[in-house]
Amino acid sequence: MPGKLKAKIVAGRHLPVMDRASDLTDAFVEVKFGNTTFKTDVFPKSLNPQWNSEWFKFEVDDEDLQDEPLQITVLDHDTYSANDAIGKVYIDIDPLLCSEAATRICGWFPIYDTIHGIRGEINVLVKVDLFNDLNSFRQSSCGVKFFCTTSIPRCYRAALVHGFVEELVVNEDPEYQWIDRIRTPRASNEARQRLISLMSGELQRKIGLKVLEMGGNAVVGYLQCFDLEGESGLVVRAIGTASPNTNTHSNTAPASNACNSPSKDSKETLPSSSPPPFSPSKPCSRQSSSSDTDLSLTPKMGKTSPPPHAPHPEFPFFTLTCFPPGFLVHVGGVVSARSVKLLDRIHNPDEPETRDAWWEEIRQEIKSHAKALGCHAVVGYSESTSICEEVCILSASGTAAMLNPRFMREGCLDDASPPSCGFCHIPYDEFNMPFPAQLTYCYRCRRQKVPDVLFTTIDLPAEAAVTGKGCLIQARLCRTKKKAQGEVNATAISNLLPFMEYELHTQLMNKLKLRSMNALFGLRIQISVGENMLLGLASATGVYLSALPAPGGIQVAGKTPSDLNYDQHIATMQKRINDTITKNKELYNIHPPESTEELVGSPIPDRQRSRLFRSTSESSDELLELDLSHGKKDAFVLERGSVTMSINMFVSSGFYSCNTEVMPGIYNWTSGLQMFTSVRVYRLSNANLTNQGLNKIFTELCENLLKSLYFKLRSMIPCCLCHVNFTVAVPEEELIQMGAVRLNCVCVCGCVFVCLFVSGSGENEDQLQFSMELCADSTPSNNQPTSKPSERCSPLPEGRSRSLRSTRSMPCGAPVAVVKMTPLSFLPGTRIVKYLGIINMFFIRETTSLREEGGVSGFLHCFIAEVFAMVRAHVAALGGNAVVSYSMKECVFMENPNKNQAQCLINVSGDAVIFVRESEQEATPPLMSSGQISSTGADGTT
């Protein structure tokens, strides 16, 4: 299916001064796609050039349209020397290749340089015309739509859900090639950025081809990751959930999804009409041969059966975390697998069999764990890596589940009304359980057995009955290791991993009991490897499920010689634990009914009742005995240090936190929403710290990060922080990076003042830092504010501040509101009416003047602000007004304080959408340009 790509360069503004004699710039533009390059005329002596070029036309195959980005380079013309580079813009053409795509990309794009950051803007128009091609051996997957959201996309209807797709591509990393010794830092960064963009496009095309072979036309829960293997090479991986080839409904009848709505009262609606038939200017998806794996998540006009060429797989995997009511029959619990590998140099990028084999082993292990739990599927599945020099830790996790076979055969069930306790019932045989557990009859139906505690990686099902409110629960762990190389290092890490994961689960269990809760949702465990330490961070949302029994108390016991002081200390600690549990019950409004029902099922073996548990703290050598027969409650042994940390949990009144999309137990949402991103870097001052000392530092680092956000939001109480997402890395020796804490501040309890303040990114531009104009084809509504931001907020040089804040209209139209950003799949108080495509961008920023840019704090803050500006610009150019399911998958920071240098790499993704407010009948005006940035927290500590 060949096509024609057309690009037009309209104008530029706020360019930097490149000629010191005249304080002006002689700018021109190179437009490159593939091996073809066009140039505009030189516009002399101006910081706001008006090129108004002709249409540059590229005749290319649709395969190249998917792989290649449109590369726009702005340069300063020099007569007697080489032209100076000002910056570049990469435009992804893939959003224009879908049958529901926008007809063009039009807007102001920030001109980005990997050394100096944003250096002005350029106005570009891009169009694509595709022609029908009858060649059955095509190598493109035009027409396949991608979604980053891990739930069924808004304005789509759930149908046959049954498949999994994965792919990876490998290449040599330009940063580590021998030619880098003669490259400038800018050339090396640009080569790396361009290669990653090409690999990302190729990977997406290959994933799309697999979907077409299944007879599908969409990928939901698309997760793409970059593995920077250093001298070994560069790997780009992706997994997702495929969907069958059916028509989508028109945008005139948006539907809300009950499974991920903040309100329990919302319901799905049928699409009102189907899109127009295939036209020559747009591709249509084709159906092809079957595949062993298949998955369907598509909007349907009615109930249909799966096509005969699409058999159900033996064991499906799903990257989705939220499902329609009735889809999940039973949930078995979390299944995970980890593997330590030694990286070897990639000799042939066209044959990535080695990396494929690694992940296949991991998935087979996950599958065997799920089968042991009596389940036939894995939901909420995700994969991640942690790399340090030649060692790579591969991790995969999900939730074992049994799915509704009727849903698999017939699609969405309108009469599906599953019981609120059904998913809690055990899927395995109670007399042949794979692990010791205590079972009781369900506290709601009193017919099926349920476990005493439930861990999952999915969001809380919509039908689940919850008592009280939920909260964020975290477990943190640091372990030192000796420096080693090769196989010795890999062996040491392999020996530590099982014990670290066990301790993280133990901490989660203890903290869950202290809060008087019995279930975890959205569980995510990260293991990060460094040269001399391993970090473990587990985050989840704790709730009290009404169907599960009330959690037992925590009994601290020990065996020591007669020591009155020790006995008093144990008694004091026990009292503090009991008081904490009582206090948390009131705080989270948990008042379960008392039950005298005896526990039934498989008891803990007698040999475990008298087992002595040695404290893992290096500072303690006592042996503690666990008395599991104490009363009729569960008991856990805690380290004295961990007891103190758990009891002294920081709780801020008026704030509610969770790492799921919806806060369990809170339903009175308002429309106020603001996203926050914070990065903190900590350099250890003492390299000879013990495990106990490292644990204390790591815990304080995590808690201080949340405290800083609570402090900034103290005037917005009551408020809920949703989708709190921590990432941790050890990029260098003695350096801990806590970063990419992406969360949403959503006001509750109808506090109007807080609501208006929090939503300042959309309604109040006084907090914006880059007030670059937004342009639209249509004039915005009259109630759109046009307030002018304060100049002292701008991180730009003083000479450019006033020109950036111009409020005059531009050729595309008038200024409109800023593009909203959220890691949630929805915006409270709004309805998504159209998905415009995914935004998947990779940025590199390097500086040789770290101290002059404000140190680590200033450098990271400015870089994250620039990333926000470029993401918003690309969304606005597609006609969107929001980014949902936004995530920062990679945030790698490297510093050399002795040379005053630093480098940061960031990969972001999300779904560009158009939304309308529920209180308004007409849509928020689509945006055609953006460069604005919301108030962002980026804290750095050295």
Which pLDDT tens digit goes with each residue over 865-875? 999 999 999 99
839 Cβ partners below 8 Å, 6+ apart? 92, 871, 874, 875, 883, 908, 909, 910, 911, 912
Q: What is the per-residue pLDDT for 540?
A: 96
pLDDT top residue among 556 and 581: 581
121 Cβ partners below 8 Å, 6+ apart? 12, 13, 14, 108, 109, 110, 111, 772, 873, 931
114-123, 370-379, 656-665: segment of lowest average pLDDT: 656-665
Q: What is the per-residue pLDDT for 820?
A: 92
Q: What is the per-residue pLDDT for 296?
A: 35
Q: What is the per-residue pLDDT for 741?
A: 56
Q: What is the per-residue pLDDT for 941?
A: 36
305-309, 550-554, 629-633, 790-794: segment of lowest average pLDDT: 790-794
pLDDT top residue among 284 and 508: 508
Per the CB < 8 A criterion, the answer to whether 724 and 682 are in contact is no
Quick one: which of 636, 423, 450, 454 has its CA closest to 541?
454
Sort strands 3-13 and 117-130 into parallel, antiparallel or unpaired. antiparallel
Is a pLDDT exceeding 60 seen at residue 290? no
d(C-alpha 932, C-alpha 942), whole Å: 29
d(C-alpha 560, C-alpha 570), whole Å: 11
d(C-alpha 461, C-alpha 541), whole Å: 13
| CB-facing half-sphere around the CA of 477: CA atoms within 13 A | 27
Q: What is the per-residue pLDDT for 314?
A: 67
Is a pLDDT exceeding 90 seen at residue 114? yes
Q: What is the per-residue pLDDT for 499?
A: 93
- The pTM assigned to this predicted structure is 0.80
Q: What is the per-residue pLDDT for 297?
A: 35
What is the strand order of the sheet 391-403 is part of?
328-342, 391-403, 377-388
**Angle of the 640-647 helix axis to the 486-514 helix axis, nearest 10:** 50
Q: What is the per-residue pLDDT for 466?
A: 92
Q: What is the per-residue pLDDT for 802?
A: 30
Per-residue three-class SS string for 498-542: HHHHHHHHHHHHHHHHHCCCCEEEEEEEEEEECCCEEEEEEEEEE
Which pLDDT tens digit goes with each residue over 881-895? 999 999 988 888 888
**Cβ count within 10 A of residue 450:** 22
Is a pLDDT exceeding 90 seen at residue 166? yes
DSSP of 858-891: HHHHHHHHHHHHHHHHHHHHTT-SEEEEEEEEEE
Beta bridge partners of 680: 738
Which pLDDT tens digit goes with each residue over 328-386? 899 999 999 999 999 887 767 666 778 899 999 999 999 999 999 999 999 999 999 99
**Angle of the 564-587 helix axis to the 486-514 helix axis, nearest 10:** 70
Range picked from 478-482, 615-619, 773-777 for highest mean pLDDT: 478-482
pLDDT, mean of residues 638-666 = 70
> What are the distances in angstroms from CA 348 to CA 228, 354, 394?
17, 11, 22
Quick one: which of 187, 3, 170 has its CA closest to 93?
3
Which pLDDT tens digit goes with each residue over 816-867? 468 999 999 988 888 899 999 999 999 999 999 999 998 888 999 999 999 9
* % of residues, the chain, pLDDT over 70: 69
8 Cβ partners below 8 Å, 6+ apart? 53, 54, 55, 56, 124, 125, 126
Mean pLDDT computed over every residue of the chain:
75
Quick one: which of 882, 844, 855 has its CA closest to 938?
855
Per the CB < 8 A criterion, the answer to whether 543 and 521 are in contact is yes
Q: What is the per-residue pLDDT for 895?
A: 86
Which pLDDT tens digit goes with each residue over 33-46? 988 999 999 999 99
Q: What is the per-residue pLDDT for 310?
A: 40
Sort strands 234-244 and 104-113 into parallel, antiparallel or unpaired. unpaired
